[in-house]
């Protein structure tokens, strides 16, 4: 039997062909390297998203093939802080699309980009859409981790901060990182900073408000944090990670249940 979880990069080419024949979902973690306050490493999005995907692949051993994470994303508005590696929005979108179309070329028909960086969201969604346009027989999806309805319920239940406390390098990300590797987090430097210009329709939390605004990060955050990092605990992090993994596995299973798309000739009646 194969290793568990099934790691794409460790397969031989005949094994890639076999994995594609098993109708597995290609799980592609996507993140960015960028400042996460004075208390968290710049790999926060990468580490958390990679961990969620790895655990999901361990749980759904026969249903997933795990791709190596895409480490670099779209973070130009963070460049006043030392650390971010930012990729042009169009280059990044095409890069993600090309990962997907390569997998499609090898026979994979279902794929999920699991993203862990807010500003990648619409670009990763576009990349997934472009894969499907080029390969109409492929179901390509994108999701932002820990943002489904059940995760939202858990967040509401366990959070100690108000809305705005879970934006970036925040209660949520600090908790998750603590649960993964507490030694990498310096809680002595954690701050509570919530400078985003929030209002009735625009706010930044793990799920943002409907009115989308994204100014330069340095215009509203001195430390790079938006949220209450001081409320982070490993215990909350463990619960959040568990929810994130369950959510990811549920997305994978839903993708596997769906019929593959088939383009058809339009007609004037439903039948």
Binders of Zn ion among residues 32 to 51 (CB under 5 A) are 44-45
**C-alpha span between 137 and 131 (Å, rounded):** 10
Kindly tell me which of 63 and 247 has the beta carbon lying closer to Zn ion: 247
Concatenated DSSP letters of 167-179? EESSHHHHHHHHH
Kindly tell me which of 98 and 186 has the beta carbon lying closer to Zn ion: 186
Query: To the nearest whole angstrom, how small is the minimum distance from the Cβ of residue 105 to Zn ion?
Result: 32
Kindly tell me which of 35 and 63 has the beta carbon lying closer to Zn ion: 35
Kindly tell me which of 50 and 132 has the beta carbon lying closer to Zn ion: 50
- Number of residues interacting with Zn ion: please give it, by CB under 5 A: 3
**C-alpha span between 115 and 218 (Å, rounded):** 23
Q: What's the full length of the chain, in residues?
A: 271
| Helix or strand run (H / E) with residue 267 | none
Query: To the nearest whole angstrom, how small is the minimum distance from the Cβ of residue 168 to Zn ion?
Result: 5
Kindly tell me which of 44 and 175 has the beta carbon lying closer to Zn ion: 44
**C-alpha span between 141 and 268 (Å, rounded):** 30
Query: To the nearest whole angstrom, how small is the minimum distance from the Cβ of residue 161 to Zn ion?
Result: 16
Beta strands 110-115; 139-144: pairing state: parallel
By the 8 A CB rule, do 208 and 118 touch? yes
65 SS3 class: strand
The separation between CA 235 and the C-alpha centre of its own chain, rounded to angstroms, equals: 21
Kindly tell me which of 25 and 175 has the beta carbon lying closer to Zn ion: 175
Closest residue to Zn ion: CB criterion: 45
Alpha carbons within 13 A on the beta-carbon side of 117 = 33
**Interface map 159-178 toward Zn ion (x if CB under 5 A):** --------------x-----
Q: Which positions lie near Zn ion, rule CB under 5 A?
A: 44-45, 173
């Amino acid at each position: 039997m194969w290793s568990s979880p099934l790691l794409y990069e460790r397969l031989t080419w005949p094994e890639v062909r076999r994995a594609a024949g098993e109708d597995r979902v290609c799980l592609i973690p996507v993140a960015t390297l960028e400042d996460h306050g004075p208390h968290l490493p710049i790999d926060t999005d990468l580490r958390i998203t990679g961990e969620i995907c790895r655990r999901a692949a361990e749980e759904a051993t026969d249903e997933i093939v795990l791709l190596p994470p895409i480490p670099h994303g779209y973070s130009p508005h963070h460049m006043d802080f030392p650390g971010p590696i930012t990729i042009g929005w169009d280059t990044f979108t095409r890069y993600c699309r090309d990962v997907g179309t390569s997998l499609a070329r090898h026979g994979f028909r279902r794929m999920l980009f699991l993203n862990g960086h807010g500003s990648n969201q619409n670009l990763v969604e576009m990349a997934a859409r472009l894969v499907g346009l080029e390969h109409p027989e492929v179901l390509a999806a994108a999701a932002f981790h820990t943002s489904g309805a059940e995760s939202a319920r858990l967040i509401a239940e366990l959070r100690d901060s108000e809305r705005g406390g879970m934006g970036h390098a925040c209660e949520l990300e600090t908790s998750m990182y603590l649960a993964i590797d507490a030694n990498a987090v310096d809680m002595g430097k954690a701050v509570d900073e919530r400078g985003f210009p929030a209002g009735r329709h625009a706010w930044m939390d793990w799920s943002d408000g409907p009115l989308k605004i994204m100014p330069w990060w340095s215009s509203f955050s001195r430390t790079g944090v938006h949220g209450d990092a001081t409320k982070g605990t490993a215990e909350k992090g463990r619960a959040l990670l568990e929810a994130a993994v369950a959510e990811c596995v549920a997305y994978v299973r839903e993708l596997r249940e769906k019929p593959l798309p088939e383009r058809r000739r339009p007609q004037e009646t439903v039948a």
